[in-house]
Every structure is written in structure tokens, then in C-alpha cells.
């Protein structure tokens, strides 16, 4: 067997997604080092773990004189997350390579592969056992391919438009197996087999890429997936530099002639796009069609408006952002509206809820078209501001008194921050805080269902739309993170960090907060204290929860630890225990002699309580009230 040495061209990683490109050392093909660029985008971001393992990475390079792009992607998991997988495709399609200002579709060839997680939807025609039996009878899987959701979505024009893959797959489904074996999943969940792992390609010319083979490797048993591999023959350009000038001059003359003969013309199915009502972090998609009705090929792209750097507002995306239409050809464009917390903050400041933008579509050597896009954002408790609390008419005692029979929902004419927090905390306690498993997978569909229930008050029982304690907890943190204001005011953060570790002084700082900030922070601290008492694994989440309170992204290690220390101090020193100590410290502020000794005594006693909380030894706990009286 002949072996060949290979050199690494590029390696890119995003959490658990890795893309490595090699080139044989004896290959005559050229890859200029300055033509290699990489990009990445995360789509599975969770507040719990800061970043999930979903997203895409891409490498752009020049092979001889052709531009190739390789995309490795990991889409959302779960049999009921089809819409989120489609959303992941649209988001990853927006990747741009900043070094060369190219999008994915500016390349001659795109290879897109990875764990795309598309499942089989048999609509109850076939059972799990039926599918497993069919998959075990040989390599004729034609009867199953009609249920493959990736091919269904392609036919509908929703994802991977004009991408290629054989109509018939001649290898066993790549998912799901018992790790270490080639046996189908025997766990409690008994996952149904599916072709989750795929390799697709796109090219401008139909015969530019020819697939030689496409199969999976059954012998590799390291994972619950089987790896998939493919071999292609690819035709690339080789430009004769000596003829470039002459050809270029001829092309210019011919282009001028053709430009005069026929300017590009297109037909657009919609002159404007109205999305209607849109909701927080729930994608809304509209498709429009562009058809070439002229006498020449049409290349088009969306361009930024004057004095803008992006082709659209942050809440709007277009897939694909550019394309080439042959004579009589048509292209389907997907427009997506997605309102995140920053967009919600902007809308909250406006007098109306209208979102509007104008897309500018430019034809190469032709005119510009202007497509107005509008939507009406339905304001949510997510992305709201603490200033809303001032007008809510709800007192904080109604929120923190979880044993009260009176429901805050019935007392509030509109859903508020208070009621949303109350309902989530109440349901988490009903689930049992010890039942939150922080390594579970976040389900976007359950977040959407919870958001609707919190905004409308229907249904009142949140467990009817979310069965997972983890998803309920993730929604709780996402709610707090979406607020425009930090729980700990920016103006007070330096003072708070300065007294970290000192319980009385930390709570003295909190007493200076505006009432709405203080109320929500106290509720947050009380809940977190109960959470880590009931669930030891929750200690791993304290850094994230502290960052949410400060509304600060993770940065320098020292700053992260300072925020965490302040947060832990509030948890370790319950307010009701230190309240008398705070008053005593205030009385001693004007006495810098005898008061110093008494102040040290008070802080020493509080330190003893902090020690017992960290050790969790109830026998060492002390009655602090007895010390104050002494």
C-alpha cells in the first residue's frame, strides 16, 4: 500500500466542532497561504454553559485559480427541533470572511458537511421497530428516503437550495448506536435511526464536482454516530497568465457590446414584505422569488444603504445574500426576522412597535431595487426594563412570598417582570430544585412555549408546556439576562466589588440600590441560596449567575472572580441575619476610636457565619442574634 505525506493547510475549532484541511505534499495543485481564511458562528449559545456545541465553522481557500469553501456544521438536536435546524442553516449561511469580504456563496464550490441532525418523519406510518428492521435488510433504503426531513425541506426550498446529494443513500443511518458497538440505541430513549451526518456540495457549474463514493464507516465505534465519508473529482481553473491581458481586453470589448445590447432584467415576486406580528427570539421567515427575465445572465447582491456597514438591520437576515441567475432561472430568497434582547431594548425606547428596513438589491451592470421590509414586534417581558416595574403596581412582597395562596398573576392587569419571575421560581420549586440537571440539552421549542405563557398568562400551569426543570431554569436565566438594566446598577458596581467578602458592607451597598433593582436582586439571591442548598451541582453555575447580576460578559479572570466573590458573599450572609449588623455599622461610622474595635467584633462574627455556610456543618452554626444582644 502506497503512503503519502500530507501537510496541514488549516485547522479551525468551535467548542466540539473541528475542521482540518490537509494537502498531499506531492500534489501539483497550489494553495496560496494568503488565500486561506476562516470564520465561525455559534448557534447553540446557552447562558448555562456560555456556549453550546452547535454552530458552524468555515474555511475559504484558493485551489489554483478556483475558490473553494468548506463548512462543518452541527445543527440543533431533538426530533421536534426541525424549525431550529432550519434556522441554524440560515444563520450559518450568513458567514462572511472578513479578510476577503466574501460570503459562502461567493465561492466556486462549497462543501457543507457535519451532524445536521435531520431525522426521519414517518408520520406514524412506520414504527421505530419497522425502521430498524428495514435498515437491517441490506442496502436498499429507498423506502425510507421519502421520510428524510432534510430532503423534504430541500424540496420545499427552505434549506440547502441548489445543494447536491445523491437522491438515494446506500449506507445505514449514521445515528444512533450504542457507543463501542454497531448496535442500534438500546437506552431508555430508544432513538430512531436517522441519517443525521451528511455531506452536500454546491457549485456554479453542474459538472465541476463529481462524487466518486459516499458511505459510512461501520467499523468505527467511538461514538453514538457513525462517521460519513465521500470522495470527489473536482475540476478547478488554471489561468494562463500570459494570455490574461489579451483575454481581459477582449472581454471588456465584448462586455461593452453586450451591455449595450441587453441590460439585465429581473422579476421580483414581492415588491415589499410585511412579516406582521413577530415575537422575542422566535424566528419568522418569508420567501420571495427572483427570476431572470432578461437576455443575459444576472448576478445580484444585496448592498448596504448609504452610511451603513451591513446589508440589513440586525433583526433581519437574507439567505442567500447574493447569487447568479442563468437565462430564465429563478432563485428563492429566505428573509428571516429574529428579535434578540438588544433589538427588544431599542423597540422599548420607541413610541411604536414597528420594525422597518429597506433592502437594496443591486444587479451587476444594472439597476438597484428597493424592497421595504416591515414587522410589528409584540413586546414581551423578555427584553424589558426595570422602569416598567415602577408602573406595574405590584409590590415585591407578592413575588418573594412563594407560600402565599394569592397568585400575582391574578392581581396584575398585565404580565410583568415580577409575575414572570414568580411563575418560573414557583414552578422550579414544584419540580424540585434537586431535579435540575445542568448537563441536559436546552430545547428552543420549550423556551418559545414558556415565553408565550409568561407573556399571555396562558396556560397558568407552566409545567403543561415545559416538562424539563433544566429548560425552565435556562428560561429563568435568559429572562434575567434579557433585562436592559443590570440588577446591580453600573454606578454601584465598583463600590460593591471593593467590599466583596464582607457581608455587612455588601448588604449596605445593596441598600443603596433603587427599590426595583434591590427587590429583584434579593429575590435572585434567595432563590440561588435555596438552589445550591438543594442541588450541589448548581455551584458550577454561580459564575454565570453572578455575571448576569452584573450584566457583564466573561473577561479577565480577576474580574470574574471578584464578581463571583461578591455574589457568594450575598448568598452566604442572609440579609435578615446581617441587617442588625448593618445598622450597628452605620451607628459606628462617626466613631473612629472605640467603634473600630466593636466593628471588628461584628465582622468577625459574620465571618464565622460565612465559614459555616461554606463548610455546611450545621453543628458549627451560631446564633448571631445572641451575639448582637451580647
Residue range 394-413, pLDDT digits in tens: 444 444 444 443 344 333 33
Reading the block at residue 213, the C-alpha cell is 463514493
What's residue 627's pLDDT? Answer: 33
The alpha-helical segments, DSSP class H, found in 457-593 are: 469-482, 493-498, 503-510, 515-534, 542-550, 557-572, 575-588
Angle at the Cα of 492 (from 559 to 566), degrees rounded to 5?
45
The alpha-helical segments, DSSP class H, found in 200-267 are: 241-261
CATH of domain 6-234: 3.60.10.10
Q: Is 349 left (phi over 0), alpha (psi -120 to 50) or beta?
A: alpha
**Using CB atoms within 10 A of its CB, is residue 108 exposed (0-12), middle (13-18) or buried (19+)?**
buried
- Which residues lie below 8 Å from residue 118, measured CB to CB, with a gap of 6+? 75, 82, 85, 148, 149, 150, 153, 194, 195, 196, 198
Query: 266-377 architecture in CATH?
Result: Sandwich (2.60)
* Phi then psi dihedrals of residue 273, to 5 deg: -125, 120
pTM of the model: 0.66
pLDDT tens for 527-555 read 999 999 999 999 999 999 999 999 886 55
Query: 386-629 architecture in CATH?
Result: Orthogonal Bundle (1.10)
User: Which segments of the chain have a pLDDT < 70?
Assistant: 1-2, 45-52, 138-140, 258-261, 387-415, 553-556, 579-630
What's residue 589's pLDDT? Answer: 52
List Cα–Cα distances, 254 to 240, 244, 298, 366, in angstroms. 20, 15, 16, 16
Task: Write down the domain spans for the chain.
Answer: 6-234, 266-377, 386-629
Cα separation, 419 vs 478, in Å, equals 15
Amino acid at each position: 500500500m502506497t503512503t503519502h505525506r500530507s501537510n496541514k493547510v488549516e485547522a479551525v475549532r468551535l467548542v466540539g466542532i473541528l475542521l482540518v484541511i490537509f494537502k498531499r505534499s506531492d500534489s501539483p495543485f497550489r494553495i496560496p497561504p494568503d488565500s486561506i481564511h476562516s470564520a465561525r458562528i455559534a448557534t447553540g449559545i446557552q447562558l448555562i454553559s456560555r456556549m453550546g456545541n452547535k454552530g458552524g465553522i468555515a474555511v475559504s481557500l484558493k485551489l489554483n485559480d478556483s475558490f473553494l469553501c468548506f463548512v462543518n456544521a452541527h445543527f440543533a438536536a431533538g426530533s421536534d427541533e426541525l424549525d431550529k435546524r432550519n434556522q441554524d442553516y440560515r444563520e450559518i449561511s450568513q458567514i462572511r470572511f472578513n479578510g476577503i469580504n466574501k460570503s459562502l456563496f461567493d465561492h466556486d464550490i462549497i462543501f457543507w458537511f457535519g451532524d445536521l441532525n435531520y431525522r426521519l418523519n414517518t408520520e406514524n406510518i412506520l414504527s421505530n421497530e419497522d425502521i430498524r428492521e428495514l435498515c437491517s435488510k441490506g442496502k436498499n433504503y429507498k423506502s425510507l428516503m421519502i421520510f428524510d426531513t432534510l430532503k423534504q425541506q430541500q424540496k420545499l426550498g427552505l434549506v440547502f437550495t441548489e445543494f447536491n446529494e445523491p437522491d438515494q443513500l446506500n449506507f445505514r443511518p449514521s445515528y444512533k448506536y450504542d457507543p463501542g458497538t454497531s448496535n442500534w440505541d438500546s437506552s431508555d430513549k430508544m432513538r430512531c435511526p436517522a441519517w443525521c451526518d451528511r455531506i452536500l456540495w454546491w457549485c456554479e457549474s453542474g459538472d465541476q464536482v463529481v462524487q466518486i463514493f459516499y458511505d459510512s464507516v461501520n467499523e468505527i465505534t467511538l461514538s453514538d454516530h457513525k462517521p460519513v465519508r465521500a470522495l470527489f473529482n473536482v475540476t478547478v481553473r488554471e489561468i494562463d497568465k500570459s494570455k490574461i491581458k489579451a483575454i481581459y481586453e477582449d472581454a471588456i470589448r465584448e462586455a461593452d457590446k453586450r451591455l449595450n445590447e441587453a441590460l439585465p432584467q429581473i422579476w421580483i415576486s414581492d415588491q415589499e414584505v410585511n412579516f406582521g406580528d413577530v415575537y422575542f427570539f422566535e424566528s419568522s421567515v418569508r420567501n420571495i422569488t427572483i427570476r431572470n427575465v432578461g437576455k443575459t445572465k444576472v448576478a445580484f447582491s444585496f448592498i448596504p444603504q448609504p452610511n451603513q456597514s451591513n446589508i440589513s438591520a440586525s433583526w433581519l437576515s437574507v439567505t442567500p445574500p447574493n447569487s447568479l441567475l442563468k437565462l430564465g432561472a429563478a432563485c428563492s430568497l429566505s428573509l428571516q426576522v429574529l428579535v434578540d434582547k438588544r433589538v427588544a431594548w431599542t423597540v422599548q425606547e420607541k413610541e411604536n412597535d414597528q420594525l422597518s428596513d429597506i433592502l437594496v438589491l443591486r444587479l451587476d451592470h444594472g439597476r438597484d431595487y428597493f424592497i421595504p421590509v416591515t414587522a410589528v414586534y409584540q413586546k414581551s417581558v423578555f427584553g424589558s426594563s426595570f422602569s416598567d416595574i415602577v408602573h406595574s403596581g405590584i409590590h415585591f412582597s407578592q413575588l418573594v412570598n412563594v407560600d402565599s395562596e394569592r397568585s400575582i398573576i391574578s392581581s396584575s392587569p398585565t404580565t410583568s417582570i415580577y409575575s414572570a419571575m414568580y411563575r418560573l421560581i414557583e414552578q422550579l420549586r414544584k419540580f424540585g430544585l434537586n431535579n435540575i440537571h445542568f448537563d441536559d440539552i436546552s430545547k428552543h421549542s420549550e423556551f418559545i412555549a414558556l415565553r408565550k405563557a409568561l407573556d399571555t398568562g396562558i396556560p397558568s400551569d407552566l409545567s403543561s408546556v415545559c416538562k424539563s426543570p433544566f429548560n425552565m431554569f435556562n428560561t429563568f436565566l435568559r429572562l434575567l439576562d434579557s433585562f436592559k438594566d443590570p440588577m446591580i446598577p453600573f454606578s454601584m458596581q465598583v463600590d460593591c466589588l471593593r467590599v466583596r467578602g464582607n457581608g455587612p458592607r455588601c448588604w449596605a451597598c445593596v441598600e443603596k440600590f433603587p427599590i426595583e433593582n434591590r427587590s429583584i436582586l434579593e429575590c435572585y439571591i434567595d432563590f440561588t441560596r435555596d438552589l445550591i442548598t438543594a442541588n450541589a451541582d448548581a455551584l458550577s453555575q454561580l459564575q454565570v449567575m453572578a455575571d448576569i447580576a452584573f450584566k457583564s460578559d466573561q473577561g479577565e479572570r480577576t474580574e470574574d472572580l471578584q464578581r463571583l466573590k461578591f455574589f457568594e458573599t450575598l448568598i452566604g450572609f442572609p440579609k435578615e441575619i446581617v441587617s442588625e449588623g448593618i445598622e450597628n455599622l452605620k451607628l459606628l461610622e462617626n466613631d473612629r476610636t472605640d467603634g473600630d474595635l466593636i466593628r471588628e467584633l461584628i465582622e468577625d462574627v459574620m465571618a464565622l457565619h460565612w465559614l459555616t455556610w461554606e463548610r455546611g456543618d450545621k453543628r458549627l452554626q451560631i446564633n448571631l442574634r445572641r451575639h448582637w444582644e451580647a
